[in-house]
Amino acid sequence: MVGSSLRRIKESIIRNIFFFIGLASIFILTLIVVFLFKESLPIFKVVSIKEFLFGQYWYPTSEPPEFGIFPMIVASVVVTILASALAVPLGVLSATYISEIAKPRVKEIIKPVIELLASLPSVVIGFFGMVIVAPFLQETFDISTGLNVFNASVMLAFMAVPTISSISEDALHSVRRELREASYALGANRWETISRVVIPAGLSGIGTAVILGMSRAIGETMVVLMVAGGAAAIPESLFDACRPMPASIAAEMAEAPYHSDHYHALFATGVVLFLATFVFNLIADYVSNKYKQTGTATL
Amino acid sequence: MDQKRKIKQAIAFFFIRSSVFIISAAILLVIGFIVIHGYKAISWEFLTKQPTDAMTKGGIFPAIIGTFYLTLGAIIVAFPLGVASAIYLSEYARAGRVIRIIRLGINNLAGVPSVVFGLFGLALFVVFFGFGSSILSGSLTLGFLILPVIIGASEEALRAVPQTYREASLALGATKWQTIYKVVLPSALPGILTGSILGIGRAAGETAPIMFTAAAFYTTKLPKSVFDEVMALPYHIYVLATAGTHIEETRPIQYGTALVLISLVLGVNLIAIILRSRMRRKHSY
């Protein structure tokens, strides 16, 4: 009897240990929030939140300094929207191909290839954008610099495609077979079945995929740091240089003296970026739970 | 009428196939350019020597070593935490609010931008704990970054273990922990290790998280302790390509370093893919 109750105590201790380690992700996420806010709050003694978010000028080292990140917010929004405009059709269509059209043998090649794209380090994509795409754009369009909004958007799109493609493919793949068969039985051809039955049935998963792809694009750092051109002004054309938020942080953090206003302002930019991706992820989570698939598998 | 439907389908399929073609072509283009320009730079000296002449000549040995240490450190941090989290999620947790919140936490952690991890690592490890810019700070930051990858892969591996294994063990009088330790974990181990390999690939290629926490522009000496700064392959590419006065001159070194980095990352991923397919053949339950 003593042995069995000892055993029970031991089991419950082990269970609790795993429970606490299971909370590690939430603990880390909390730490991230706490330290981002802690390091960014002092800047709001210097500028108001409104001035910070909507201020047009970013001169962190001038006298007096200006801490307005509006141009960076606009740049982030612009490159993210343009990148999505490219990545969403490419991602969803390639997912449709893999899930609905490709023969098994072709599928076995295409799927790993797209996973390969996901595993390419962002610094390599950024490097490619800098040394190959930029000079090409400069010559083709006869512009002053190839490091601009357009280049950054294209490179970002390729970083977002694998995310969108693989999650969309899961969603399409989990649409029940019976739905397809019913559609064929009614005389629909393959494209009609795909466009009117399969894609609508997988729409919540595709929605999740798109949101997570955009989240990936807005937070991606090395590509925009190397390719966007770096000008802290609101871009007026596709071929203007710009500086999205991650680029601003990465480029200046090394030079910002510890606990200076500049340092705090960069952390505050990090908070804005973090909140943007946090909201994207919450929406993605909500969409995938609210509109649960009518398939056997879930996301 | 039927003709019209057929044409519509043909047009739609054309666009679908084009999209796959565009993506594949882009990947080949990126890898192709790096290989073609990079292979000339690769030599035994390049891989095993220090940079010289203000990094315009010589090798990238310190960057390779630095990336090795940082990645090793990240795995040491993330592996135990990730596998234990996955054991809780797959073996202990019951469906309900707690598991929902934990999953939301993991998904959000996976979505945190890499530069924000860099800021976090700077604030917590470099400054607050006083580790300075070091292997330790960089490894912890990268470890937290890849934690969701390890959890996801481990959980998938644990869930793939057939329920009958657990039932058989419990029926023999084993406790839950004995079942997990002696039955479930050994069967899931190959899958867990494969997932961890993917984490290694991710950690090796990240730049933004180590920029303010570990990476040195240039060091002549190899690291002696976990409190030393190191050079790292991704950061080396970034630095050579964007900073300094020798950007054009060091182009071959940049390509060479990029080639070494993608060989490393793609090689690691390839190993994972091969292991995975081998495992599936071996364990066809």
pLDDT at residue B43 in the model: 85
**Would an 8 Å CB–CB cutoff place A81 in contact with chain B?**
no
Residues A257-264 have a mean pLDDT of 91
Which stretch of A57-66, A80-89, B215-224 has the lowest confidence by average pLDDT? B215-224
The answer to whether the Cβ–Cβ distance between A120 and B265 falls below 8 Å is: yes
Structure confidence at residue A298 as a pLDDT band (50, 70, 90): very low
Domain at A69-294, CATH from 1.10.3720.10, 1.10.530.10, 3.30.70.580, 1.10.287.130: 1.10.3720.10
Q: Which residue of A has its CA nearest to B104?
A: A285
Of B85, B116, B242, the CB nearest to A32: B116
The answer to whether the Cβ–Cβ distance between A26 and B105 falls below 8 Å is: yes
CA distance B179 to chain A (A): 11
**Would an 8 Å CB–CB cutoff place A139 in contact with chain B?**
no
Structure confidence at residue B282 as a pLDDT band (50, 70, 90): low
pLDDT at residue A295 in the model: 47
Q: Which amino acid is at B170?
A: L
Structure confidence at residue A237 as a pLDDT band (50, 70, 90): confident
Residues B260-273 have a mean pLDDT of 90
Give backbone dihedrals phi and psi of A164, rounded to 5 degrees, phi first.
-65, -45
Cα dihedral A48, A53, A56, A60, rounded to 10, equals 70
Mean pLDDT of chain A: 90
**Hey, where are the domains in chain A?**
2-45, 69-294
Are A166 and A115 contacting, i.e. CB atoms less than 8 angstroms apart? yes
CA distance A25 to chain B (A): 6
**A-chain residues near B24 (CB < 8 A):** 110, 113
- Residue B277 reports pLDDT greater than 80: no
Residues B242-256 have a mean pLDDT of 83
- Residue B165 reports pLDDT greater than 70: yes
Q: Which amino acid is at B96?
A: G
What is d(CA A6, CA B119) in angstroms, rounded to the nearest whole number? 46
- Residue B284 reports pLDDT greater than 60: no
For residue range B99-124, list pLDDT tens digits in order. 889 999 999 999 999 999 999 999 99
Of B13, B93, B201, the CB nearest to A22: B93
Q: C-alpha A34: how far from its chain's center?
A: 22
- Residue B216 reports pLDDT greater than 50: yes
The answer to whether the Cβ–Cβ distance between B241 and A220 falls below 8 Å is: no
- Residue A1 reports pLDDT greater than 70: no
pLDDT at residue B233 in the model: 93
Scanning A259-298 for CB atoms below 8 A from B yields 266-267, 270, 273-274, 277-278, 280-282, 284-285
Size of interface A-B (CB pairs under 8 A): 252
For residue range A142-199, list pLDDT tens digits in order. 888 889 999 999 999 999 999 999 999 999 998 988 999 999 999 999 999 999 999 9
- Residue A296 reports pLDDT greater than 70: no
Encoded tokens for B57: 């000549």
For residue range B171-181, list pLDDT tens digits in order. 999 999 999 99
Percent of chain A with pLDDT over 90: 71
**Would an 8 Å CB–CB cutoff place A132 in contact with chain B?**
yes
Give backbone dihedrals phi and psi of B226, rounded to 5 degrees, phi first.
-70, -5
For residue range B3-58, list pLDDT tens digits in order. 889 999 999 999 999 999 999 999 999 999 999 999 988 888 888 888 876 677 77
Task: Report the alpha-carbon angle A234-B211-B256, nearest 5.
Answer: 100
Mean pLDDT of chain B: 89
Which stretch of A145-149, A185-189, A260-264, B94-98 has the lowest confidence by average pLDDT? B94-98
Structure confidence at residue A4 as a pLDDT band (50, 70, 90): confident
**A-chain residues near B71 (CB < 8 A):** none
Quick one: B207 exposed, middle or buried, by C-beta within 10 A (0-12, 13-18, 19+)? Answer: buried
Kindly report the length of chain B: 285
Tokens 């960057």 — which residue?
B63
